[in-house]
Amino acid sequence: MQVVKEYVQRWYESGLDPDEYVCHNKQGNLVEIEDVATGEHRTVLSFCTNDVLGLVQEEAVKQAAINAILKYGTSNSSTSVLSGRIDLHRQLEDEISAFKHLPYTQLFMNAWMAMQALMDAFCHLAIPVPGFQNTRETLILTDVLNHGCIVSAIVNAGTRSGKVFGHSPRVRVKAYRHCNMEDFARKLRRYALPDDRIMVVSDAVFSMDGDIAPLPEMLDVMQNYPGSVLLMDEAHASGAIGATGSGIYEHFGLVPMQAVERGIVPLIMTTFSKFAASAGAAISSHVEELKPLLNVSPTSIGTISLPPPNTAAALESIRQVRKSPERVQILQENTRYMRSRLAEHDFVALGETNVLPVILPPEINPKVFARKLIQQGMWVSPIWFIAKPRIRITVNALHTKADMDHLVARMVATRDLLCESTISA
Ligand SMILES: Cc1ncc(COP(=O)(O)O)c(C=O)c1O
């Protein structure tokens, strides 16, 4: 542990550690937080929650979670495949299938487990079955800016989880440049062998850049590879893009079955931690046989099933979104408003969604910027550990125009102040 101690000490000395805040109370976007370093309490307006539709505090959602606890208790106390499956799981899977227009859905505890389960199931199948032998290698193509859950799963895709040695045919992983369809097509041409099973995986909305994967162009390229699989991670797309919040297919005026008609197998991962006021993830497909295989993946059989309150909260949230897509429209209007206000004040915002990364002038440290804002009652996330340091604002459906105007005014004042102090230094 000596190296860890020395490293973390140096980390603190260099000011690279994140500031820590603890929430004591929440009313809409107003959050009472404690600054752990000073013990100070203050109420701030949050622009960093992923509760994009504002359902976390919705009465019907909270009540659904409470009812589930009253009926089933707080945990299912078993894995799904043994004795941990409850009727709410089935209802939630059906609801997601309807929302995503893909008939077969399997639940997981979170995105990381869902991704790993898929790699295990797709690349390595499950237990040996007499008379069946897979001889085909897998080629996985991944956008370089994909989320960590994808990176982790594909890096581990060479061997089935829980095994030290693998006996399946090889799995090869290649990355293509971010949303660059020329590079994507080139990599497929270069690396796809005639008998490969091909899987392409991408964030639908990129979690750090707030942009959207070029789905129509991806389908155009992939239709040259019949049977290839396209997995979209819709963590930030669900409830946020498309007229009713269904996600990336709806955003581009498509449904997943149009990919099927072109010989491509669409898979969608939904997560509940953003739009659905809960935690957990799901993989949906039109292939009936994938579901039982996912059900016996190591990250399904080796861990607890989704607890009753989380399942119920996600189920009620999705029902609310499907019943009243106006929330999605408000979110999209708020996104447009916030982006236009930032542009008016010469802030450089990446992407096009409610995930709103703002690149600050190079002389401004995002951590200092966010600290100054929090002192003025505005909470945004500073990001300084990736290529282009930024602050990350997440707009949600509960923000008012006055909230957003207030944030922009504070950002302008803070930028002026910090730029001035670097000039005079
Ligand atoms: C693209 C993407 N995928 C997956 C995840 C992880 O989702 P969860 O926390 O719901 O497991 C995130 C979370 O930020 C994400 O942005």
- Residue-wise DSSP of 141-194: EEETT--HHHHHHHHTTTS-TT-SS--SPPEEEEEE-TT-HHHHHHHHHHH--T
Instruction: Assess whether 199 and 155 both reside in one domain.
Output: yes
Residues 159, 165: Cα–Cα separation, whole Å: 7
Instruction: Assess whether 277 and 253 both reside in one domain.
Output: yes
How do residues 234-277 score in pLDDT, each as one tens digit? Answer: 999 999 999 999 999 999 999 999 999 999 999 999 999 999 99
- The pLDDT, as a whole number, for residue 389 is 86
297: in domain: yes
The best mutation among 149, 299, 392 to test binding of ligand 1, ranked by most ligand atoms within 8 Å of the C-beta, falls on 149
Residue 309 CB burial class (10 angstroms; 0-12, 13-18, ≥19): buried
288: in domain: yes
Assess whether pLDDT exceeds 70 at residue 164: yes
Whole-model pTM over 0.85: yes
Instruction: Assess whether 273 and 418 both reside in one domain.
Output: no
How do residues 39-79 score in pLDDT, each as one tens digit? Answer: 999 999 999 999 999 999 999 999 999 999 999 999 999 99
- The pLDDT, as a whole number, for residue 421 is 76
Assess whether pLDDT exceeds 80 at residue 387: no
What average pLDDT does this structure show over 310-334? 97
- The pLDDT, as a whole number, for residue 425 is 64
What average pLDDT does this structure show over 297-318? 96
| Distance set, CA 187 to CA 194, 206, 268, 372 (Å) | 14, 21, 23, 45
Instruction: Assess whether 317 and 355 both reside in one domain.
Output: no
**Last residue in a domain, options 264, 291, 323:** 323
Residues 396, 353: Cα–Cα separation, whole Å: 11
Higher pLDDT, 166 or 248: 248
What average pLDDT does this structure show over 341-357? 96
Instruction: Assess whether 341 and 393 both reside in one domain.
Output: yes
63: in domain: yes
Assess whether pLDDT exceeds 90 at residue 162: no
The best mutation among 206, 271, 274 to test binding of ligand 1, ranked by most ligand atoms within 8 Å of the C-beta, falls on 271
Residues 188, 198: Cα–Cα separation, whole Å: 9
> How many Å lie between the centroid of ligand 1 and the Cα of residue 134?
31
> How many Å lie between the centroid of ligand 1 and the Cα of residue 303?
19
Residues 399, 388: Cα–Cα separation, whole Å: 27
> Which residues are CB-contacts of 139 (< 8 A; sequence separation ≥ 6)?
171, 172, 173, 174, 191, 192, 193, 196, 197, 198, 199
The percentage of residues in the chain with a pLDDT greater than 70, rounded to a whole number, is 99
As for ligand 1, residues whose beta carbon falls within 6 Å of it are 110-111, 147, 149, 203, 207, 233, 235-236, 271, 273, 281
- The pLDDT, as a whole number, for residue 17 is 87
- The pLDDT, as a whole number, for residue 165 is 80
- The pLDDT, as a whole number, for residue 204 is 98
Assess whether pLDDT exceeds 80 at residue 424: no
Assess whether pLDDT exceeds 80 at residue 423: no
Provide the CATH number for the domain around residue 334.
3.90.1150.10
Residues 414, 364: Cα–Cα separation, whole Å: 10
What average pLDDT does this structure show over 19-48? 96
Q: Which atom of ligand 1 is nearest to the CA of 204?
A: 1
**Last residue in a domain, options 275, 293, 323:** 323
Instruction: Assess whether 239 and 109 both reside in one domain.
Output: yes
> How many Å lie between the centroid of ligand 1 and the Cα of residue 207?
8
Provide the CATH number for the domain around residue 301.
3.40.640.10
**Last residue in a domain, options 286, 304, 323:** 323
Assess whether pLDDT exceeds 70 at residue 131: yes
Nearest CA to ligand 1 atom 16: 207
Assess whether pLDDT exceeds 70 at residue 126: yes
> How many Å lie between the centroid of ligand 1 and the Cα of residue 111?
6
8: in domain: no
Residue 249 CB burial class (10 angstroms; 0-12, 13-18, ≥19): buried
Instruction: Assess whether 302 and 367 both reside in one domain.
Output: no
- The pLDDT, as a whole number, for residue 367 is 93
- Number of domains present in the structure of the chain: 2
Q: Per-residue confidence at 422, pLDDT binned at 50, 70, 90? A: confident
Domain of residue 177, residue span = 59-323
Q: Which atom of ligand 1 is nearest to the CA of 206?
A: 1
Q: Per-residue confidence at 208, pLDDT binned at 50, 70, 90? A: very high
How do residues 90-125 score in pLDDT, each as one tens digit? Answer: 999 999 999 999 999 999 999 999 999 999 999 999
